[in-house]
Structure 1
Amino acid sequence: MFETHIPDVTPVTTDTRTSTVTLTGYGADLDVEVPRTALILDVALRQREDLPYSCLGGSCGTCIATVESGRARMEPEPLLAITEDEIDRGLVLACRARPVSDEVTLRFGR
């Protein structure tokens, strides 16, 4: 298991809980309740359409974010727009990440 601030890329489980996700670094901060089975960016875009994204499939890298607190889990391969080194440094693609802890803070940008 990774440290708290580093994402876990193991397969997703069926969890019925929600998490409070805070998105920073791109305009005003956004707090959103995200089911643990949902992709963070999918839920956040329902509240703010101007968040950074292009493909929603993990291949462009526009939605790359640093996990500043809490834990997020990315869906397994293919993750074309992020390297293992970036994952090890605590980066995730918001379009492929699901919350794991009760609270998660993601900061957009590298």
Structure 2
Amino acid sequence: MSRVKALPFLSLVLSLAVFLSGITFYPSQAKADSVPLVPNGGFEQVANGIPLQWSVISGTAASSANQVHSGNYSVELSDSSSAAPVGLRSQKMQVARTRI
């Protein structure tokens, strides 16, 4: 192929490459109104002063209206031990396997 004929071909190939580089492929995304990832993740459901669906592992935990991010409640953790950390654990969550 002569050099004069190769330039339009090269230009076409480069244009196609630039066009295709702008196209992205996204896997299907979860809907915003789907099941929350963490049950009672905002600590809004409270019973007996502690968030429902959460277990205190060590230390103490209590629902609080101080320093909330959104909603009405947060959780306040207190550590009275110098040897053990404070621990709070959510209920187990289901994990779905998907292929991309």
The higher relative CO (CA closer than 8 Å, separation ≥ 6) is in: 1
TM-score by length of 2: 0.24
Select the structure of larger CA radius of gyration. 2
| Larger proportion of strand | 1
| Larger proportion of helix | 2
